[in-house]
Amino acid sequence: MSEISHSETEILLRAFPKGVIAVDLETTGLSPLLDRIIELSAVKVTKDGIETFDQLINPGINIPQNTIDIHGITDEMVATSPKIEDVLPRFREFAGDLPFIAHNAKFDAGFIVYAAHHLNTAWQNNDVFCSCRFARLTLKDMPNYKLGTLSEELDITLENHHRALDDAWASLHIYIKGLGAQGEKMDAQIGKLFNLSEFSKNKDLSIPTKLAGIVKMVEEQRVLLIRYKGGSMRGQLRPIKAIALLPLPAGNILYAHCLKTNLFKSYSLNKIIEFREVEGKEAREFIKEAKTIRPKQ
């Protein structure tokens, strides 16, 4: 298990004087609007010291084999674990109103907010910071900004990648490394995404009926053509590879790999006019073409 030194703690508390919590989840899939939390872990750092929260969760559904292959958490391992309605109140108490750090934090925040929504629980006033976003802005010339790659490049111990507590420690270390790279002009705020209380503006965490057919395509991360109201290809069919359905403060989105620009983008569900699946050779050609495009930094 990882630790942070006294000097690293001082750096962290300079940036977050009240303290901070690094959070990570393991889930049944990538979409908060479809999937469930199976592990919730966190590392809390305050002037009073360091505490951890680490809990397996029974999702009430079977864990798909493709996700078991990633994190190694099986149905048998969570069979006697508490359900989210028992775990989330304990985590809320543990977290208080401290800011959260997570890697690709919009996913973790989405799962937490969705669970709170279905338990009719308003979340507290927690700012959410993304260690992936922060690393892109402060730690240049990395091969990529995946948690495992950053840990290897920055010599961060990550013994059990894709287990929540180990990944939470790693995201905390990445943020510390980014803060250190900034020197005296330390600015943690450039990694901020939003505040969890902002999700109160998104009252409906359901998927529009007209998009019901997209669910299976997202679960299987298929290639689609979508016609969208906004963006540079307004009204045109654009090729994407679907990744996840997420709630965000401004509304629910389809998170996808745009195969026209080779960028990962968020598409508001309310602005998707139509969609259709692309199969076989056509799908392979779109993916091949995307690999030849160097995305703008």
d(CA 88, CA 116): 8
Angle between helices 164-182 and 6-15 (to 10 degrees): 80
| Percent above pLDDT 90 for the chain | 85
For residue 176, the SS3 value is helix
**CATH code for 6-201?**
3.30.420.10
All structural domains of the chain with their residue ranges: 6-201, 209-291
Tokens of 29: 């899939």
* Section 88-109 average pLDDT: 97
When computed from its CA atoms, the radius of gyration of the chain, rounded to whole angstroms, is 19
- Residue pLDDT, tens place only, 163-192: 999 999 999 999 999 999 998 888 999 999
Select the more confidently predicted residue: 264 or 230: 264
- Residue pLDDT, tens place only, 117-156: 989 887 778 999 999 999 999 999 999 999 999 999 999 9
Right CATH for 209-291 from 2.60.40, 2.30.30, 3.90.25, 1.10.1220? 2.30.30
Q: Identify the band that residue 94 occupies on the pLDDT scale cut at 50, 70 and 90.
A: very high
For residue 96, the SS3 value is coil
Task: Confirm whether 6-201 and 209-291 share one CATH topology.
Answer: no
Burial 243-262, CB ≥16 within 10 A → b, else e: bbbbbbbebbbbbbbbbbbe
Q: What's the mean per-residue pLDDT of the chain?
A: 94
**DSSP secondary-structure letter at 270?**
G
Angle between helices 105-118 and 84-95 (to 10 degrees): 120
From 35, 43, 38, select the one nearest 72 (Cα to Cα): 38
Backbone phi and psi for residue 127, each to the nearest 5 degrees, phi listed first = -70, 145
- Identify the burial level of 198 via C-beta atoms within 10 angstroms of its C-beta, where 0-12 means exposed, 13-18 middle and 19 or more buried: middle
